[in-house]
Amino acid sequence: MKLKVHETGSGDRTAVLIHGIMASAGTWCRVAPLLAARGYRVLMPDLRGHGESPHAAEYSPELFAADLVESLPAGADVAIGHSLGALSLSLVAVELRPAKAVYSDPAWKIGGDANPNLEEFAAFTKRATAEQVRKMCPKWADEDIAAELDGYARWDVAAAGWLGEAVDMIPDRPVVPSLVQAAGDPRLVPDDLATGLRAKGFTVTRVEGTGHCVHRDDLDGFMASLEGWI
């Protein structure tokens, strides 16, 4: 599928930003301008079933990933994926071949019993209010809350159906120099996984005090952890 790819900045270097499930390119509303100011042309796809990209009859990590190859240029200076975006990026790092890859709280091992309330939350996204999002995410800026609500309004709830099965897609090795940016909340990247990833050749850093959306909970911490990678 050809995805809607949003673009900002006109620098000589290219950065790719890939959002997580239930979100859209809007999740990068505060990150993209900072990268553009550093001299990047920033490309931000909406995954299938999200944002301005088409809805689909089928969804899976492999399909989300294949769409990236169809829609993005290879050889970006840096590619950053969050959650599902990180999982999708890791599946096509060979094809996209960014100079550097950053996996922000990657959803490499999830699903099944870990998501017992998935259908309920998916339904909630269609009626959520700003006040409810702010209560769930008190550290977020107003722009982030607005972007989240826009993502909720546009996404296809069927895009989460594959999460009903357990997923274990931890990479065997980094294809390119790779940073794993773990949230302070260790559910997706617990310490034992972080240790194992380091043994495989990944650089791993943890941004303390953050939940799953590191870039929204602590933008300064998110950017500081990327020094040397962007």
Tens of pLDDT along the chain (230 residues) come to 999 999 999 999 999 999 999 999 999 999 999 999 999 999 999 999 999 999 999 999 999 999 999 999 999 999 999 999 999 999 999 999 999 999 999 999 986 654 557 888 999 999 999 999 999 999 999 999 999 999 999 999 999 989 888 889 999 999 999 999 999 999 999 999 999 999 999 999 999 999 999 999 999 999 999 999 99
**DSSP single-letter state for residue 12:** S
110: left (phi over 0), alpha (psi -120 to 50) or beta: beta
- State the Rg of the chain over Cα: 16
The token pair at 7 is 């673009």
C-alpha to C-alpha distance for 100 and 110, rounded to whole angstroms? 24
**DSSP single-letter state for residue 29:** T
For tokens 């920033």, name the residue.
42
The predicted model scores a pTM of 0.97
The token pair at 92 is 């096509």
Closest CA to 221 of 208, 230, 212: 208
Q: Is the dihedral of CA 205, 208, 211, 216 positive or negative?
A: negative
